[in-house]
């Protein structure tokens, strides 16, 4: 009998949405230092695991940024002006979630007077202290693949705005291409203020008579602030449940919203069109 090959692999998940069994609320912490005269500001979030599941978490902060694709990048702490490293206190530092019961994590950001004007940030990670064995099947579906050791890491981004910060976003481009019943939506969104913007929204697919064919939620993301700052994202939408005609054009519209520095909702809109390819067997 062939021996099983054990591959040690650390799988780190930075987005709360990626872990259905772990719920964090709120999933992003956004604080305004202008709302207090004290040199610190406090808040809390709740963490819970799945039913009949026990997870032991340890917490630790890291400095980070998002690249132009919206991907998390961990950075070495070198005292950057926009870093909250060394200014966060949180409790508990380690805890156990059992049977879906919530655990409250309290945190305080200190030294607000030392912060720069605009945005400062860090990521507070919750890491499972235990690893889990997962058996991967072979490509032919037979048992006897590799065993990997999986450790879960979930990040909660924490932002503090201070001074005369601004939040200004633009939806620069939107393109759509359909292939084999899957619509690939590619868009570019900029953030030219001194603080990041976090957008949400919906996508609408219509025919040339403006009849709604499908509505879908656009996956939320953060766009860092700064001159020339932007991210490029792609989202795939399944059209196999839609009645579409080969060779015809359809319209895609994005309606996104974000909150500006006055906490007022701003709306971003952009439209494009796409063609249904003749090689798509799922269409008429």
Model pLDDT, residue 139:
54
pLDDT in tens, 123-136: 999 999 887 776 76
Domain 169-275: what homologous superfamily? Immunoglobulins (2.60.40.10)
Exposure pattern of 4-43 as b/e (b: 16+ CB <10 Å)? eeeeeeeeebbebeebeebbbeeeebbbebeeeeeeebee
Point out the residues of the chain with pLDDT beneath 70.
1-20, 134, 136-145, 278-284
Domain definitions of the chain by residue range: 9-162, 169-275
- Does the domain at 9-162 match CATH 2.60.40.10? Answer given as yes
Specify the pTM.
0.81
> How far is residue 181's CA from residue 250's CA, in Å, rounded to a whole number?
13
| Pair of tokens at residue 1 | 């009998």
Are 9-162 and 169-275 in the same CATH fold? yes
User: Which of 233, 229, 239, 232 lies closest to 219, judged by CA?
Assistant: 233
Model pLDDT, residue 130:
84
Can you say how many angstroms the Cα of residue 188 is from the centroid of all Cα atoms in its chain?
Answer: 16
């Amino acid at each position: 009998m062939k021996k099983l090959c054990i591959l040690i692999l650390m799988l780190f998940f930075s987005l709360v949405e990626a872990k259905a069994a772990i719920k964090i609320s709120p999933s992003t912490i956004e604080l305004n230092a202008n709302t207090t005269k004290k040199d610190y500001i406090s808040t809390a979030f709740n963490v819970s695991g799945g039913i009949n599941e026990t997870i032991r978490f340890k917490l630790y902060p890291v400095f980070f940024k998002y690249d132009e694709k919206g991907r998390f990048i961990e950075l070495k702490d070198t005292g950057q002006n926009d870093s909250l490293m060394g200014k966060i206190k949180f409790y508990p530092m380690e805890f156990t979630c059992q049977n879906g019961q919530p655990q409250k994590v309290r945190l305080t950001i200190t030294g607000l007077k030392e912060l720069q004007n605009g945005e400062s940030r860090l990521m507070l990670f919750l890491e499972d202290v235990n690893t889990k064995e997962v058996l991967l099947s072979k490509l032919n579906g037979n048992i006897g693949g590799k065993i990997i050791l999986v450790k879960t890491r979930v990040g909660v981004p924490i932002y503090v705005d201070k001074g005369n910060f601004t939040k200004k976003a633009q939806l620069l481009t939107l393109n759509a291409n359909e292939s084999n019943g899957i619509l690939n939506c590619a868009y570019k969104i900029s953030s030219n203020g001194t603080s990041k913007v976090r957008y949400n929204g919906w996508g609408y697919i219509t025919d040339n008579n403006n009849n709604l064919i499908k509505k879908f939620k656009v996956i939320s993301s953060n766009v860092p602030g700064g001159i020339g700052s932007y991210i490029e994202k792609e989202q795939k939408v399944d059209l196999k449940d839609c009645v579409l005609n080969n060779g015809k054009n359809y319209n895609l519209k994005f309606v996104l919203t974000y909150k500006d520095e006055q906490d007022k909702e701003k709306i971003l809109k952009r439209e494009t069109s796409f063609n249904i390819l003749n090689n798509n067997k799922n269409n008429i």
